[in-house]
Structure 1
Amino acid sequence: MGVVQDIPLLQTTCDIWDKIQNFQAREDDILIASFPKAGSMWVQEIMDLILLNGDIKKSMRAPCFLKVPFIDLNAAPLPSVEAANGMESPRIIKTHLPLQLIPPSFWEKNVKVIYVARNAKDSMVSYFYFQKMNKMLPDPGTWNEYFSKFLAGNVPWGSWFDHVIGWWRAKDKHQILFVFYEDMIEDPKREIRKISQFLGKELTEEVLDIIQHHTSFDIMKENPMANLSTLPSFVIDQSISPFIRKGKVGDWRNHFLVVQNALFDEEYMKKMKGVGLNFRNEL
């Protein structure tokens, strides 16, 4: 692990930090931002289909990680800055960076941003399993060890609290749409419509239904273009845990000890007081 402005990042990301900061955004780019394991892969598939007017065949042209370059990741075979530079417009670009580390050109070009937010408890559980199976990330250790690391912000891309608060406070200064994972689970079609309108696309009910079906949990779990099954096991080892794992709200209840839940709630109240950002831990 490395560190940039007190944020823990993968060393491979730190190695190309100048390239990331000097990345040149375009006015018609769309940036999808989130803390890890908030549902950004789900939303990027939705965004791709919105831009394609629901054309499933075109959406299956390549795996999700090739269609949407992840600019703050620097690990073969996943494309990063260079891949994004060579793409035709309009580009969908992905980042897990906190607001203060976003390349300045995104703000200079007034790029539209969709920020995907998920409640902290489910985010922690999902990230724990992701770190176990993703060989690019540090081993998370035991659940008890990871609980302490996550709460302290000692995980790749830093503190969940600082991340969501930073983006939330910027949402009225830039073109930022906040999308909540829990809202997506509750009423996916409503949220797909909201995203399409934000992107300036008015889609028919029929097309919205097609997008909802194709990006449903069961379809995406079996879709090789979305489930990362095209990546070798030395990168993503899905024998440890599937990439598309449960897609539930409230799975944290199966992992948090009573004392951990009390500790977490105390920290949450401290950090989130007065922010005006409300999450649902269950539906």
Structure 2
Amino acid sequence: MALAGMRELLEKSLAESKDVTPSDKMFLHDGELYTTMICCPETLKILDTFEARSDDVILVGYPKTGTNWVGQILVELEAASGKYDEEERKKRCTGQNEKELLLFPYLEFGDPAKFERMKKLPSRRVVKTHLAPQKLPKSIYQKKAKILVLFRNPKDTAVSYLHFANGMKLFPTQKSWDEFFSDFISGKVPYGLYLNHIIEWNKYLDDKNVMFMTYEEIKENPALEMKRMAEFFDFSVSKQEIQSIVEKTTFKAMKDQAAETNEGIGNILFRKGIVGDWKNVFSEAQNEEMDRKFEEIVARTKLGKMIKYDVYCKG
């Protein structure tokens, strides 16, 4: 599975971070923070040299909204749709044909020479990113590549982000929940303010090449949402193949597989995978502050309503 490459990248980053001084763990680029654990300024500066293909499968999601999970679903759907023989299918699902995307599984990760190497990857490429729409390479829009944009309720996203950041040592120092919440709600974290991502993507509601989904919808009915993904990306898959992928990509199945290779990294990537964990963490004051900010910034937008904030972030 593609997760093997993600673990490889994280393990390498964790080892190298031991020699990085705290002040060098973050950098500012184009008005937003990034972490040196997985990004470098030189790569971000030449993002527009990435050459998209019209059949690329683009997955976009703010950190900790479920992109590792949904990315693996898309890899499985692409392999099933390709109707490859068993050897080729194994190569694609384990990443033997796509080492570049496994080592640097997100568009903005890794060294600047990666874009030249990515030209050699076979189609269809499943490309993931945490970037906001205005920061994506222009060729993605020019080639009219289809984009799946993933959202998750902001409160669970914040809690998951903190555990991942502390586990990966992304910040100069370990942060308490209170410290992180203050940074998260003010956008002083890598990739900026989550609510701004919602506002920016709301501008693409009428773009036929962009589809929106939520983490919660996929959790509630994975087979139905995978069918929607397949139809959007023109994957030719049967009902039985979708059910098989549902079983392969449950949270437990993916966490168990991650634990087989490296339990520590597996626990960082896959912690609980539930909806509503924020209720165990948020104080009353923090709830009120997040509710107020959501209401002010995105509640009245169509995407804001699609997230069903009242269902998943109240009570």
Aligned to 2:280: 254
Aligned to 1:30: 57
- Structure-to-structure mapping, 1:13-52, within 5 angstroms: 13-52=40-79
Give the deviation of 1:152 after TM superposition. Answer: 0.3
Aligned to 2:109: 73
Q: Distance in 2 between matches of 1:87 and 1:247?
A: 31
Q: 19-28 or 124-133: which moved more? A: 19-28
Q: Distance in 1 between matches of 2:241 and 2:233?
A: 15
Unpaired runs of at least 5, structure 1:
none
Q: Does the C-alpha gap of structure 1 residues 138 and 72 become closer, same or farther in structure 2, counting only changes over 3 Å?
A: farther
- Which residue, 244, 256, 261 being the options, matches 1:222? 256
Q: Does the C-alpha gap of structure 1 residues 140 and 197 become closer, same or farther in structure 2, counting only changes over 3 Å?
A: farther
Unpaired runs of at least 5, structure 2:
1-25
Give the deviation of 1:18 after TM superposition. Answer: 2.8
Give the deviation of 1:274 after TM superposition. Answer: 2.3
Matched pairs, number:
273
- Which residue, 84, 94, 99 being the options, matches 1:61? 94
Amino acid at match of 1:176: V
Q: Distance in 1 between matches of 2:90 and 2:104?
A: 17
Residues 6-40 of structure 1: CA deviation (Å, up to 9, x unaligned): 22223543232232222111111111100000111
Give the deviation of 1:223 after TM superposition. Answer: 1.8
Q: Matched residue of 2:148: which SS?
A: strand
Percent identity (aligned): 28
Aligned to 2:187: 153
Residues 258-280 of structure 1: CA deviation (Å, up to 9, x unaligned): 11111111111111142122224
TM-score normalized by the length of structure 2:
0.78
Q: Distance in 2 between matches of 1:68 and 1:179?
A: 24
- Structure-to-structure mapping, 1:1-283, within 5 angstroms: 1-11=26-36, 12-53=39-80, 57-58=90-91, 60-62=93-95, 66=102, 69-74=105-110, 81-136=115-170, 138-139=172-173, 141-173=175-207, 175-224=209-258, 229=261, 237-238=264-265, 241-277=267-303, 278=305, 279-280=307-308, 281=312
Q: Report if aligned partners of 1:228, 1:243 keep a CA contact under 8 Å in 2.
A: no
